[in-house]
A and B are shown apart, each in its own frame.
Chain A
Amino acid sequence: MAFFLIAILLVLVVLSALVPQKDVAQDRILDWEEFLGDGYVVIEKTGLDQIYSSPLFFLVLGLLAINLAAGNLKRIKLVFRAEKPLVKARHLGMIIFHLALLLIIAGVILNYLFRFHGVFGLTEGQTARDTEQKYFRIFAGPLYPGQFGRFAIELAGVDPVYETAGARTAAAEITLRPAIQETPITDTILINHPLAWRGLEFHFGSKTGLSPEVLVTDTSGQQIFRSFVRLSTRRVEDRTLSSDFVIIPSKNLKINVEVQSADEAIDSAVFVVAVEQAHVIVYQGTLTPVDTVAFGGLRLTIPRLRRWCYVDVVENQFLNLVFIGFWTALAGLVIGFVPRLISRRKQ
């Protein structure tokens, strides 16, 4: 039984390594769509691009867990039947090891069902409440109870060259304001150093960059559009591109903003701006903060320049099962292997 279950699991995982999966490899999905054209529909209809969330995947995992549990029942008999204490200990070690595997599988499945992972995209100085609409993206398990309104989060600042343990990285200073009247909590978060608060963890997100404020006015100074854009970095062929765009429907405008300086230094930032009106480029050129450019009766300026970053809010209620499983598995191995070594020495 275990053989067939592992074989099915292996086939599923190998398929998922070949076919890019949704929410995991979005860039590769676009490549595949381009390559296969209409043929990509076959992949979507067969669910080959969503293997990890398919019922078959979870069925196989569940059956493997049952198989492991049944296997352990057999091993318990071996413990009682063994006469030598060392042999007993060896079987006991293997039972503990397999129970630990069960704990790990249970932890993984329960985490998947009840998990909450929300991503905030915040610009320095911005505050967002813990409501479903304020998250940039939410990955929630099917059984997540949907608790919101727990806090408000403010991004006080982003340091792109934070130094820690001899290494440089980006870090964010956040302030949490609990829903009820309580003292706010301020902390610096970075890779390896999340802020833990009431079962939630606040991790420094996977992306950060410059956030220029785009202000569009007419010639009389009347404001038409004002908002921070978030320039996110991605690889395009051989160069790194940090860009974003805004759309102003009332004027049929699309404004592309790209940072020109490679190091994204805030003091020397120069932006390449391209303005399209009804798909026709009406302005293209460089722009530094506070400068103003004019086109077609409108003025464009960047009055303020800040940084932005993602903050990941994670709730893994059952992750402790995986931790406990890991250490229990190691304990099982020690209990199982030490008697083996002792018995060999005695021989």
Chain B
Amino acid sequence: MNTLESLMYWATTLLLAGGFFLALVSIVFGKSRPFSIARLLVFLAFICLTVFGITRWVRTAHPPFVTLFESMTVSVWFVLLMFHGLRARLPQTSILLLPVSAITFLLMGWSSSLPQEASPLSVALTNTWLFIHASFATGGAAAFLIGASFSVVYLIGRARLESLQKTFAVLPDYNLLPKSILNFLIFGLILWGVMIVSGSIWAHVAWGRYWAWDPIELWSLISWLLYGLLLHTRLTFRLPQRLFCWLTILAALTVTFSLWGVQYVYETIHSYG
């Protein structure tokens, strides 16, 4: 990493840590000022990460999807983009700041333990499909993580959320939270599905087979089926909402494993970089 990248990367991590800490303080002690500062810090973290991504893209001359480190930071960027986009449209979703800052800070922490140097592009990756496939993968993961964040807010409970009403001018309608969770899961399911199919087309072009049951392909399919099943349990069988929320959080872990955990356990041709 060059100096600017390094600066932006660590600024993002620290800003997210600060944002999470202040959001937690604000919710635990019922104070609104720390929350406003936390919101600003997380927005600044998004700006810093954007600068980091652009700088790295320009320097390496390829989109920053190639290494595990890059994939993780791009996913954090997508989560922050969705969060800020959502907050701009619906200010009452600001409460998501707490889970979003926690998730993104954890991912940045994980990424800091990985090799951070840019890797030269392997031939399999010199393909337009890299951009399509990886964008949908990280975008899909971000949608699932935002869905899980809504679940965390739901699990805070109606009473607690209403008690926070005094602190925060606007809070999401507790009754509308289930719909928001569903919307993000459906959005994520679509993005993840497109990722799987675009990946199979790319695999055909690169290796001559569109599906080889490679561990990453397999776990991506498991995540997709799990979310499909979850949506059906909620829509068709009216699964209790709290249980559904816990399951969406667990399902988010399978997505995390599919994207970044598989290569710790299996040998896969999908190794990054």
Contact = CB atoms under 8 A, between A and B. Distances in A.
Interface of A: 2-3, 6-7, 9-10, 13-14, 16-17, 21, 24, 27, 52, 101, 104, 108, 111, 117, 164-169, 190-192, 194, 201, 203, 206, 312, 314, 316, 319, 322-323, 325-326, 329-330, 333
Interface string B202-227: 00111111111101001101100110
B210 A316 contact: yes
Given A14-B222, A314-B208, 7 more contacts: A6-B228, A10-B226, A24-B213, A117-B208, A164-B123, A322-B201, A325-B197
Contacts of A333: 190, 194
Which 10 A/B pairs are nearest by Cβ-Cβ distance? A203-B208, A169-B123, A165-B126, A3-B232, A10-B225, A314-B208, A191-B123, A312-B208, A24-B213, A326-B197
A167 B194 contact: no
Contacts of A16: 213, 218
Nearest to A17: B218
A192 B123 contact: yes
27 contacts: A2-B232, A3-B233, A6-B229, A6-B232, A7-B229, A10-B225, A10-B229, A13-B218, A17-B215, A17-B219, A52-B213, A101-B193, A104-B197, A108-B211, A111-B210, A165-B121, A166-B120, A168-B123, A169-B123, A191-B124, A192-B127, A192-B206, A206-B207, A326-B194, A326-B197, A330-B194, A333-B194
Nearest to A169: B123
Contacts of B228: 6
Contacts, number: 98
A191 B218 contact: no
The DSSP consensus for interface residues of chain A is helix
A211 B205 CA distance: 28
B200 interface: yes
A2 B225 CA distance: 11
A166 B210 contact: no
A10 B56 CA distance: 38
Contacts of A14: 222
Contacts of B204: 316, 319
A22 B14 CA distance: 48
A168 B124 CA distance: 10
Contacts of A194: 205, 208
A117 B209 contact: yes
B124 A192 contact: yes
Nearest to A313: B208
Contacts of B211: 108
Contacts of A330: 194
A201 B209 CA distance: 10
B236 interface: yes
Contacts of B126: 164-167, 192
B210 A322 contact: yes
A9 B123 contact: no
A10 B225 CA distance: 6
B212 to A, nearest CB: 7
Interface string B223-249: 001101100110011000000000000
A21 B260 CA distance: 23
A144 B227 CA distance: 35
Contacts of B210: 111, 316, 319, 322
A109 to B, nearest CB: 12
A164 B233 CA distance: 49
A9 B229 CA distance: 10
A75 B207 CA distance: 38
